[in-house]
Structure 1
Amino acid sequence: MRYHIALHRSIDIDGITEDAKAHKCPQHLMWMLRQRLKATVHEPKLNSSSPLDKIRSKISGQPEYWELARSLSSELGEDDVIFCLSEAVGIEIATVCGAKKNRPKIAVFFHNIIRPRGRLALKLFGLADKIDLFLACSGSQVKFLRSYLNLPESRVSFVWASIDTHFFTPGPTSSDKLRPVIVSVGLEKRDYQTLAKATADLDVDVKISGFSQDASLLAQTFPKQMPNNMSRQFYEWPDLVQLYRDADVVVISLIQSQCGAGLQALMEAMACRRPVIVTRTDGLIDYLLHPGSVTTINPGDADELRQAITHLLNHPQEAEKQAQIGYELALKRYNNEQFVEVIATKLESLNLNNYPPPMPSARYANGVPPYQGGTTGGWN
């Protein structure tokens, strides 16, 4: 059996690997998975697309995703397994390659499919019959896929997300630190307006790592006037690690969402052994249930966020205990090695199953098994 990995954009995996060896950046998961499965990596190309590709892209993806799907369709057959890292390109590959008579086995990792275009693509392109294995790191995505497509548990798996716990590690704070530092990282679904309200008059420095040239995104995410104690800039990877280490508290302030927005920052902060305050969202709920690992708040509640920050700052022993619990959880559950092994094992198991995919089990109401939270299809 031949294994393949499809990316939704061009990535210099080998270059990243060399930088990772020099501790300049985290190791890339797909390099690890490629080595584990001896897989071939495929990327979209921007230099060609047909009129049909452009028409299809009005419904889903980009023209180059459809071009890649057509190219792979001519190469892959029943002796191939292809893993798509995202629904961006995964939908297109499943649509085209899944229509072949002697088609490859197809697995797609879904990040945020609960959107109008995502719902349309799933049904319009008949993906329930073309994708053998649906994967997601958010329980809300798993539940949606099972119920919306009427799929059995065996075909939709929850997998814990992961980071490079050899890169994100605890360490000493900067020598020039003058007062408590509140750190927040990322832009997707972030709510820095609430963070600004909660901290504007506190004797702290609020440092945000979030860079984008999308003016509308920044306007939605940040207050019109940044408080004097709040700053935002781009941090290179080593500087980002030091930013986490300097944090007295890491705050992940989010708007309500069904995807795993904020997840990367949550795991990175835990791996750096820092106490975390995070907004309780549907997309993150599986990651917030471990006792004592994080402090959670309701979306948009600046008073609650302020109280949570001041409590941790005024109770350093409690903050340290929470940081230690989160750190141990990150090492045990969120490490890249475990993620790669879980994904590889699931892809290898596709060889044991024949297409067409099994029909939903009659013993479940509507053929959909009950969702069991984070342990379903993943690891404890």
Structure 2
Amino acid sequence: MSRVGVFFASRPPDPRGPHRDHLEFCRATGAELVCLEPKVPPALKRRLRLRHPLIGMWMAWSIFRVRRRYDVLITDSEHVGLPLALMLRVSRSRCRHVLVVHLVSTPLKAFFIRYLAGRGVSCYVYHFPSAEPVLERLGVPPERRRFVPYMVDSEFWSPVDVPQKRQICAVGLEYRDYPTLLEAVRGVDVAVDIAAGSPWSQKADGTHRAELPPNVRVGRRDYAELRQLYAESLFTVVPLLENEMQAGITTIVESMAMGRPVVVSRTRGQVGTVRDSHNGLEVPPGDVAALRRAIHWLLDHPEECRRMGAEGRHTIESGMTLEHFVERMSAVVATVSDPGPRLASGVTPEAAR
């Protein structure tokens, strides 16, 4: 049986909240979860972001030093996984390395993948279909890339029988275009509750210093309060700035799991999960008028709103639960542990839709 180490470049998950993907994978498979927290002086820690290159190099070196304890290493961010890949390649390590990527098109990351990482990455796992052609252009062969759809704890985030208010919500920070949302809902007869917070993002709150319409409230929520917010809202709005990441995906799958449809900006990175007129509505990024029309349409068509919410829950149950994630990641680990066969197990982007 392979010894698997999962290295999580973030703070430990909140045990009071939903189950997390890699923690659930470790519980199900017996893999070891290691949370990497930089041990640097407080004064320096305030000046260095978690994703600063020096922090990433330190985390990569920490993993490299213990590589012989494991047969397979799993890393969940490029700023740690790519430096680690270079170390594994240069040292000619026999340890297998699965790297979960989130944004691979920046010049530095593309250079690393094309010229430096090499066999230091046994398999690239990605959650969004638009990463597939980028990895292909960077020379990553099909047998070393695998699409594993994003996931959600469908038991924690599940439909709750509570009275709904004439209210919509927006949640999260990463690449959020809250100024566009504020203008879209100005004067609309609906309460808007914005939970502008995230345990993963260091982005600034887009509502900061904005003139809030009288129907808008902004605040932070813990997991229990956030679940109540989804349940009481008619639908969720995810306004995004144009970007190539799958920004907003956590909010999208949480809302869908709660049986609430999603209005989302269709960016280059955020495609495939929300299917227009099926489990939500898509609008162009930054388009105030289009976002206002989508919000009005769902408010004016409550039956369609409920139908899309039910379809969203079905989307989660049919392929985006934690159980699906564990099954697919286990297949990836089994394949890299025995590199003879191609990565034939798993799913294609089309099959997961």
Same fold, judged at TM 0.5 (above): yes
Is 2:103 the partner of 1:112?
yes
2:117 to 122, 127, 145: 127
Does the Cα contact within 8 Å between 1:77 and 1:103 map onto a contact in 2? Answer: no
Tell me the alpha carbon deviations over residues 249-271 of structure 1, each in whole angstroms, 9 at most, x when there is no partner: 21111111111001111111111
Does the Cα contact within 8 Å between 2:129 and 2:147 map onto a contact in 1? Answer: yes
2:177 to 161, 173, 191: 191
Query: What residue in structure 1 maps to residue 162 of structure 2?
Result: 173
CA shift at 1:295, angstroms? 0.9
Tell me the alpha carbon deviations over residues 105-144 of structure 1, each in whole angstroms, 9 at most, x when there is no partner: 01100012222332343346x1133211001111222221
Structure showing the higher helix proportion among its residues: 1
Secondary structure class of the residue paired with 1:227:
coil
Code of the aligned partner of 2:5: H
Does the Cα contact within 8 Å between 2:101 and 2:126 map onto a contact in 1? Answer: yes
Matches within 5 A, 1:233-244: 233-244=219-230
Does the Cα contact within 8 Å between 2:171 and 2:197 map onto a contact in 1? Answer: no
Does the Cα contact within 8 Å between 1:7 and 1:89 map onto a contact in 2? Answer: no
Is 2:201 the partner of 1:209?
no
CA shift at 1:352, angstroms? 1.7
Query: What residue in structure 2 maps to residue 53 of structure 1?
Result: none
Give the Cα–Cα distance (whole angstroms) in 1 for the partners of residues 350 and 235 of structure 2.
28
TM-score normalised by the chain length of structure 2: 0.87
Give the Cα–Cα distance (whole angstroms) in 2 for the partners of residues 80 and 61 of structure 1.
28
Does the Cα contact within 8 Å between 1:5 and 1:83 map onto a contact in 2? Answer: yes
2:251 to 254, 265, 275: 265
Query: What residue in structure 1 maps to residue 327 of structure 2?
Result: 341
Is 2:153 the partner of 1:164?
yes
Matches within 5 A, 1:353-372: 353=339
Tell me the alpha carbon deviations over residues 132-191 of structure 1, each in whole angstroms, 9 at most, x when there is no partner: 1001111222221221x212222111111001000011113358x4xx111011111111
Matches within 5 A, 1:184-333: 184-211=170-197, 217-219=204-206, 224-289=210-275, 292-333=278-319
Tell me the alpha carbon deviations over residues 312-353 of structure 1, each in whole angstroms, 9 at most, x when there is no partner: 111111111111111111111211111111011111111221
**Greater mean alpha carbon deviation, residues 137-146 or residues 236-245:** 137-146
CA gap of 1:72–1:316, structure 2 versus 1, over 3 A, is closer
1:374 to 344, 349, 352: 349
Does the Cα contact within 8 Å between 1:271 and 1:326 map onto a contact in 2? Answer: yes
**Greater mean alpha carbon deviation, residues 249-258 or residues 94-103:** 94-103
Matches within 5 A, 1:70-81: 70-77=61-68, 80-81=71-72
CA gap of 1:72–1:268, structure 2 versus 1, over 3 A, is closer
Query: What residue in structure 1 maps to residue 32 of structure 2?
Result: 40
Secondary structure class of the residue paired with 2:91:
coil
Count of residues paired in the alignment: 340
TM-score normalised by the chain length of structure 1: 0.81
CA shift at 1:291, angstroms? 6.2
Which segments of 5 or more consecutive residues in structure 2 lack a partner in the other structure? 42-47
Give the Cα–Cα distance (whole angstroms) in 1 for the partners of residues 88 and 350 of structure 2.
31
CA gap of 1:61–1:2, structure 2 versus 1, over 3 A, is farther
CA shift at 1:32, angstroms? 1.4
Does the Cα contact within 8 Å between 1:81 and 1:104 map onto a contact in 2? Answer: yes
Does the Cα contact within 8 Å between 2:89 and 2:118 map onto a contact in 1? Answer: no
2:136 to 111, 125, 146: 146
Code of the aligned partner of 1:375: E
Which segments of 5 or more consecutive residues in structure 1 lack a partner in the other structure? 50-56, 359-371
CA shift at 1:284, angstroms? 1.5
Does the Cα contact within 8 Å between 2:157 and 2:258 map onto a contact in 1? Answer: yes
Matches within 5 A, 1:80-95: 80-95=71-86
Query: What residue in structure 1 maps to residue 17 of structure 2?
Result: 25
Query: What residue in structure 2 maps to residue 368 of structure 1?
Result: none
Give the Cα–Cα distance (whole angstroms) in 2 for the partners of residues 233 and 113 of structure 1.
32
Superposed CA RMSD in Å reads 2.9
CA gap of 1:43–1:135, structure 2 versus 1, over 3 A, is same
Does the Cα contact within 8 Å between 2:172 and 2:198 map onto a contact in 1? Answer: no
